[in-house]
Amino acid sequence: MILIINCGSSSLKYQLYTPDLAHVAASGMIAKIGEPEGYIDHFVGHRGEHHRCPVPDHRAAFALMMEYLLSPEYHVIECPGAITAIGHRAVHGGSVFVESVLVDDAVLQALRDCAAFAPLHNPCNIIGIEEAQRLFPGAPNVVVFDTAFHQTVPEHAHLYALPHSLSEDYGLRRYGFHGTSCRYVSQRAAELLNRPLEKLSMVVCHLGNGVTLDAIKGGQSVDTSIGFGTFSGVPMGTRAGDFDPAIIFHLVNERGMRLEEVEEICYKKSGLLGLSGLSNDMREVTDAAAAGNKRCQLAVDVFVYHIRKTIGAYAAVMGGLDALVFTAGIGENSAEIRARVCEGLGFLGIEIDPRANAVAGKGPPNISAVTARAATLVVPTDEERMIALDTVALTEGLPVRQVPPVAKVCHAEAHGLAAR
Ligand code: AMP
């Protein structure tokens, strides 16, 4: 069995695949680690259980996960030895990791060295690997980085126009995120279009609570909207997206705000939440907008505008567009946002069929109008599957770049795990 672990600062998400990756045998999430009101959600097939219990630390979280995986009530595994490989999601691989790797001491050290780029996330990812090594001695661990897919973004696109020595000394550059999702979705899109990925120019719109737009040419990320930290690009649920950094100096120097306050505003109080004054949840914002709430209408207008602008920019970067792909919570579920993003993109060959768009998710993934010159697709993301595929490939000694996405599997039992 292949175990996929996504270890965050206060949560542990897990997904257990059968060795052929054809089925998700179990999945779950342990949340509020270190807080008094911890809980576990555990799923096996269509059975689910929500159990509240304090989870003091990550070690306790792993113990709780094992208790459920080994529980005779669910018949998932009989002993820890049934886990033959573990795949881990890691947020930041710096410029060191250009693809997924098998974990050894040097990899763990390099991950520690990258921690300055993701101080909240990388230390937790390391704890997850160390716990897995302790619980499953002998089973290989593979680590899959959110940043790795974007390492192909060329220098002229990933460099900021800062003093060169500063960028070199401190690794200041565009790293990008959601790379595992973009890689999976782009491979699936090529498969669905029955065209070689190497011949396609596409823009993937990963529209969830976090938002990434990614220009993918010939299967390689050539530009991506998130940058050094996790808040640039398009406005997100609570993150601002691009804005003039002079605003930060202004708030600190002229308005007397503390830097920590401004940081909190940029990451946690901006985006849809900041614009709407209501919620970071697109469903609530669009519902309120439909009911006449002007600030919510404006929040949606800003969100859609930035996506459209970025699609146009990426089409220019790639010299055209063969496919536009929507994924993640908003991209997969909101026909309204998809329709508004695609409005006026006819000059790029994008035209959608309103009826196909309305039933996307339940109907065919291709929502293009018959007259469209470029395809528009709705492709559910599955970061855990991508991690599982890399895990199997690397433990079998295969190069991960050549791993096909293998979509003909049962997704029914999968309960979304990734922190988006
Ligand atoms: P994710 O981070 O991928 O889980 O996506 C979370 C975002 O998806 C939130 O903003 C949700 O409001 C949004 N979302 C989920 N379902 C829908 C829906 N049916 N319509 C609009 N937005 C949705």
Domain contains 182: no
Quick one: which of 87, 93, 180 has its CA closest to 129? Answer: 87
Query: Is there an atom of ligand 1 within 6 Å of 132 CB?
Result: no
Tokens of 39: 């809980």
Domain contains 14: yes
Amino acid in position 253: N
260 lies in the same domain as 324? yes
Query: Is there an atom of ligand 1 within 6 Å of 282 CB?
Result: yes
211 lies in the same domain as 347? yes
How far, in Å, is the centroid of ligand 1 from the Cα of 154?
A: 31
36 lies in the same domain as 104? yes
361 lies in the same domain as 410? no
Distance CA 282, CA 401 (A): 34
Q: Which residues contact 264 (CB under 8 A, 6 or more apart)?
A: none
How far, in Å, is the centroid of ligand 1 from the Cα of 416?
A: 12
Ligand 1 atom nearest the C-alpha of 210 is 2
Distance CA 215, CA 221 (A): 6
Amino acid in position 406: V
319 lies in the same domain as 202? yes
Distance CA 263, CA 283 (A): 26
35 lies in the same domain as 128? yes
Q: What is the pTM of this model?
A: 0.92
Distance CA 304, CA 298 (A): 10
Ligand 1 atom nearest the C-alpha of 206 is 3
What's residue 408's pLDDT? 36
What's residue 401's pLDDT? 57
Rg (the chain; Cα; Å): 21
CATH classification of the domain holding 333: 3.30.420.40
Q: Are 144 and 88 in contact (CB under 8 A)?
A: yes
Query: Cβ of 126: how many Cβ atoms within 10 Å?
Result: 21
What's residue 406's pLDDT? 47
Query: What is the 3-state composition of the chain as percent helix, strand, coil, each rounded to the nearest 5?
Result: 40, 20, 40
291 lies in the same domain as 347? yes
Query: Is there an atom of ligand 1 within 6 Å of 334 CB?
Result: yes
Full residue range of the structural domain in which residue 220 is found: 193-378
**Location of structure tokens 């004054």:** 277
Query: Is there an atom of ligand 1 within 6 Å of 51 CB?
Result: no
21 lies in the same domain as 88? yes
138 lies in the same domain as 209? no
Domain contains 167: no
**DSSP character at residue 374:** B
Query: Is there an atom of ligand 1 within 6 Å of 283 CB?
Result: yes
Domain contains 111: yes
255 lies in the same domain as 369? yes
DSSP string for residues in 6-64: EE-SSEEEEEEE-TTSS-EEEEEEEE-TTSTT-EEEEEETTEEEEEE----SHHHHHHH
Distance CA 179, CA 86 (A): 19
Distance CA 69, CA 58 (A): 16
Tokens of 264: 């909190």
Q: 20, 57, 105, 146: which is the annotated catalytic residue?
A: 146
Q: Are 373 and 356 in contact (CB under 8 A)?
A: no
Distance CA 311, CA 2 (A): 37
Distance CA 91, CA 381 (A): 17
**Atom 15 of ligand 1, residue of closest alpha carbon:** 329
344 lies in the same domain as 206? yes
pLDDT tens for the 420 residues of the chain, in order: 999 999 988 899 999 999 999 999 999 999 999 998 999 999 999 899 999 999 999 999 999 999 999 999 998 999 999 999 999 999 899 999 999 999 999 999 999 988 888 887 888 899 999 999 999 999 999 999 999 999 999 999 999 999 999 999 999 999 999 999 999 999 999 999 999 999 999 999 999 999 999 999 999 999 999 999 888 999 999 999 999 999 999 999 999 999 999 999 999 999 999 999 999 999 999 999 999 999 999 999 999 999 999 999 999 999 999 999 999 999 999 999 999 999 999 999 999 999 999 998 788 899 999 999 999 999 999 999 999 999 999 999 877 754 455 443 333 333 333 333
Query: Cβ of 247: how many Cβ atoms within 10 Å?
Result: 14
Distance CA 189, CA 4 (A): 23
Query: Is there an atom of ligand 1 within 6 Å of 235 CB?
Result: no
Domains in the chain: how many in total? 2
Domain contains 156: no
Is 353 labeled as catalytic in the residue annotation?
no
Domain contains 199: yes
36 lies in the same domain as 134? yes
Backbone angles phi, psi at 3, to 5 degrees: -105, 130
Whole-angstrom distance between the N-terminal and C-terminal Cα of the chain?
25
Angle at Cα 415 formed by Cα 5 and Cα 359, nearest 5°? Answer: 140
Tokens of 191: 């498969």
Domain contains 293: yes
Domain contains 280: yes
Q: What is the dihedral of CA 156, 159, 162, 167, to 10 degrees?
A: -130
